[in-house]
Amino acid sequence: MLDIKFIRLNEDLVRDAIRNKNEKADLDALLEVDEARRTLQFDFDTLKARQNQVSQTIAKKKKSGEDASELLREMGSVAEQNKTLNAALSEANARLESLLLWIPNIPHPSVPVGFDESANKVVREWGAKPTFDFEPRDHLVIAEQNKLLDLARGAKLSGSGFPVYTGLGASLERGLINFMLNFHIREHGYTEVVVPVLVNRKTMTGTGQLPKLEDDMYRVDQDDLFLIPTAEVPVTNLHADEVLRPDQLPLKYVSYTPCFRREAGSYGKDTRGLQRLHQFNKVEMVRLVKPETSYAALEEMLQDAERILQALGLHYRVVELCTGDLSFAAAKTYDLEVWAPGAARYLEVSSVSNFEDFQARRANIRYRSEDGKPRFLHTLNGSGLATPRLLIALLENYQTSAGGFMIPPALAGYLDMPGVAPVQD
- The catalytic site residues sit at 261, 276, 348, 351, 389
Smallest CA-to-CA distance from 1 within 240, 357, 324, 288 is with: 357
CA 87 – CA 162 distance, rounded (Å): 48
190 close to 197: Cβ distance less than 8 angstroms? no
| Helix (H) and strand (E) counts in the chain | 13, 14
Task: Give the CA distances from residue 134 to residues 296, 406, 422, in Å, rounded to whole numbers and listed in that order.
Answer: 43, 16, 20
Q: Which residues contact 399 (CB under 8 A, 6 or more apart)?
A: 132, 136, 137, 142, 342, 405
The continuous run of DSSP H or E covering 256 comes out as strand 251-260
Q: 109 — phi, psi (to 5°)?
A: -55, -25
Q: What is the CA radius of gyration of the chain?
A: 27
